[in-house]
Chain A
Amino acid sequence: MAGRMRADGTGSLAMMRLRRGPARTSATPASGAPALDIRGLGKWFGAFKALDGVDLTVARGERLVICGPSGSGKSTLIRTVNALESFEEGEIHVDGIRLTREPKTVEAVRQRVGMVFQQFNLFPHLTVLENCALPLRLVRGLAAGEARERALHYLAKVRIPEQADKFASQLSGGQQQRVAIARAVAMEPDIMLFDEPTSALDPEMVKEVLDTMVQLAVEGMTMAVVTHEMGFARQVADRVIFMDHGKIIEQAPPAQFFSDPREERTRAFLQQVLRAD
C-alpha cells in the first residue's frame, strides 16, 4: 500500500523489514556485514576517558537498549556512531563502511544512520512537513512532490499527519518527538539511534513516543536506544547493555538482564531505576 511512496523501488517498511526478517533487498555495499560493528572504541574528553575499549556488534534487525548511570558514556557511544563525536581509538563499521574522518565516509555513514535526540531538535523555522521533506530533497534528491508525499506517509505512521502544516513550537513535546522520529525514519536509514528520546518529556507524553518506537521495532528496524525506560527494554529489546565508566559492564537478553544480573554494579543500578517502575 505504501509501495508507491518509495522512490527507490523497495517495499514498505512493514513488508521489507519483517520481524527478524532478512536484510533489506536494496543493495548495500557489504550486505553481509552487521549493521554496526564497534571494536576497541576509546574516546577522551581531555583527561577524562569517556569510552574505554568498547566492543559491540549489532546485527541487522536487532534491538539494543543501552542503559547506565549518567556520565557512563552511553550517549557518547551512540553519538560516535554517526560522527557527532570523534574518537581516538578503535574502529567503527556501519554496514561494513569503516567510519573515518573523511567527509565521504562520514556522509555515507550518516545516510545510513538515523538519529533521534533528547531535545527533539526539530527545525523551528520550518513546518512539521517541511522538517521531514527538506532533508529528503537535499540529501535523497527527491523532487518536491515526492518528498512531500513520503514525508506525509511517515507522519501518518507516527499518527500526526493532521499537524503537518504547524510549526514545532505549536506541538506538544510528545508530538515533537514523534515528528523527529518520522523525520529520521523518512530517510529510510538502516539503523536508528535514540539518545534518551523520552527524558525531556512530560510523564504523560512518554507513552506515545515509546509506542511509536515499539511500532518501529515491530516493523524490524535495527535500533540502538539509550534510555532509562526499563519497561521498553523488557518489551522490545533483544539485548540490554549496561555501561559504566565508559565500559560495557554487562550485556544479556532482557529476561536474564532483569531477573539475574551478573555484576554487582548492574544490580545496584537496577535497584535504583526499577524502584520507580
Chain B
Amino acid sequence: MHFADNVDHPALLGRPIVFLPGLALLFELLRWSNVGATAIGRGLTDMLALSGLSPSADNLVVAGVATAFVGFNLAVVMRLKLRWQVYIVWLELAVLLLVFFYSFNLSFDFIRRKIGFLLSQGLVMTLYISVVSIAIASVLALIGAMAKLSSNGVALGIANFYTSLFRGIPLLMQIYMIYLGLPQLGYVVNAVPAGIAALSLCYGAYMTEIFRAGIESIPKGQWEASRALGLKPGSTMLRIILPQAMRVIIPPTGNQFIAMLKDSSLVSVVGVWELMYLARTQGQTEFRHIEMMVTASMIYWLFSILLELIQARIERYYGRAHAR
C-alpha cells in the first residue's frame, strides 16, 4: 500500500445489516434472470448431478451456489491477509474465466493437435517481431526525445512531425502504407520487415513522448551539478539523467511493450504467419475458430504476464535508491 490512510474504515460489506440484504438481492436477481438456463448454469447442475429437474429448481440451485460463493468471499476471504486475498481472488476469477471458456464446448483434441504449430511458428514469429520492434522503437524514442529537447529547430521540427504523424494515423494504415506504398517508390519490402518497420515507427513515436517527459522530470540541479563537476553533456545524459529518468520511463514503457505484443497481431493483415494469423487460418479448415482464438488469447495473456513480471523487477531495480 502506498498510502495507508490512518483511518480504520468500518468494513461496509462486513456488516450483516449490509451483506445479508445484499446477498438476498443477488439471489433474487440471479433467479429472476433465469440463470439456471445459461450454459454455466447447466454445467453447474450437471456437475452437481441435479440436472433434469424443473427450470425453476435449476434456477434455485444455481442462484444458491453463486450466492454462497459470494458469501464465502465476504465472510472468509475478506478476513485473510491482504496477500492471500489477492491470491484467492485471482484464482477464483481464473476459474470463472475457464468455466466461461468451457461453456464454448471446445474441442481440446483439436487444440492439442494444433498448438504445436501455433507455438513453433506463430508464437516464435510474434515474439521475433515484437522484440525487434521494441528494440528499434526504444532507439527511435531516445533519438526523438533528444531531438525534442534540443535547441535545433530542424531536429525539433522533424521530431514533432514524426510523433504527430505516427501517433495520428492508425497502426493498421501504417502497415498498409509501408507494405503497399513503398513499392510505388521502387522499394519492395517483404511483409515481416514492413510489419517491423510500422510497429517500430508507431511505438517509437509514443515512446518518444514517454522518454521526453521522463528526461524533463529530472530537476535542473542534476544537470548543473553534473556539468559543474566537468562531466560532458553525453556522460551527463547517459550516467546521470537517463538512469534517474528510467524510474519515470519504465512503467509507461512496460505498458507499451505489452500493447506492442498484442498489436503485432495487426501485421497478420499482410500475411505474416504470426500467432493471430495462424489462429485465424488454422481454425478455418475444421470450423474450429473459437478453439484457436481462445488458445491464441491465452498465449498472448501468458506472455503479457511475463512482461508484467519483468517490468516489476526493473521497476524495483531503478527504484532502489528511493526505498527506505
What residues make up the interface of A, taking CB atoms closer than 8 Å to B?
82, 84, 107, 110-111, 113-115, 117, 119, 121-126, 134-135, 138-139, 167-170, 180, 183-184, 187
Contacts and interface: CB of A to CB of B under 8 A. Distances in A.
B240 interface: yes
Determine the main DSSP class of B at the interface with A: helix
B230 A134 contact: no
A110 B239 contact: no
B232 to A, nearest CB: 7
B227 A169 contact: no
A114 B228 CA distance: 7
Top-5 shortest CB links A-B: A121-B225, A139-B230, A121-B221, A135-B229, A115-B228
Interface of B: 219, 221-222, 224-232, 235, 239-240, 243-244, 247, 318, 320-322, 324
A125 B222 CA distance: 11
A124 B229 contact: no
Nearest to A123: B240
5 contacts: A121-B224, A124-B321, A124-B322, A135-B230, A138-B232
Given A121-B222, A134-B239, A169 B230 contact: no
Contacts, number: 66
B140 to A, nearest CB: 25
B244 A170 contact: no
B234 to A, nearest CB: 10
Contacts of B240: 123
B321 A139 contact: no
A183 B231 CA distance: 13
Contacts of B227: 84, 110
B221 A119 contact: yes
A117 B232 CA distance: 19
A125 B221 contact: no
Contact of B225 (A111, A117, A125, A169): A117
Contact of A135 (B231, B243, B321): B231
Contact of B230 (A122, A124, A187): A187
B321 A125 contact: yes
B228 A139 contact: no
Contacts of A168: 321
Contact of A187 (B226, B229, B232, B321): B229
Contact of A110 (B221, B229, B247, B320): B229
Contacts of B230: 107, 110-111, 135, 139, 187
Contacts of B224: 84, 117, 121
B305 to A, nearest CB: 28
A107 B322 CA distance: 32
A124 B324 CA distance: 13
A122 B226 CA distance: 9
Nearest to B245: A125
Nearest to A119: B221
Contacts of A134: 239
Contacts of B225: 115, 117, 121-123, 180
Contacts of A117: 221, 224-225
Contacts of B228: 82, 84, 110, 113-115, 184
B321 A138 contact: no
Given A121-B221, A123-B226, A125-B321, 12 more contacts: A84-B227, A107-B230, A107-B232, A110-B228, A117-B221, A119-B221, A121-B222, A121-B225, A139-B231, A167-B321, A167-B322, A183-B229
A184 B221 CA distance: 15
A135 B229 CA distance: 7
B322 A169 contact: yes
Contacts of B229: 110, 114, 135, 139, 183-184, 187
A123 B222 contact: yes
A86 to B, nearest CB: 13
Nearest to A134: B239
B228 to A, nearest CB: 4
A169 B321 CA distance: 7
B133 to A, nearest CB: 28
A254 B256 CA distance: 61
A200 B238 CA distance: 28
Nearest to A82: B228
Contacts of B219: 121
A245 B42 CA distance: 86
Nearest to A83: B227
A114 B229 CA distance: 7
A79 to B, nearest CB: 8
B41 to A, nearest CB: 56
A134 B240 CA distance: 10
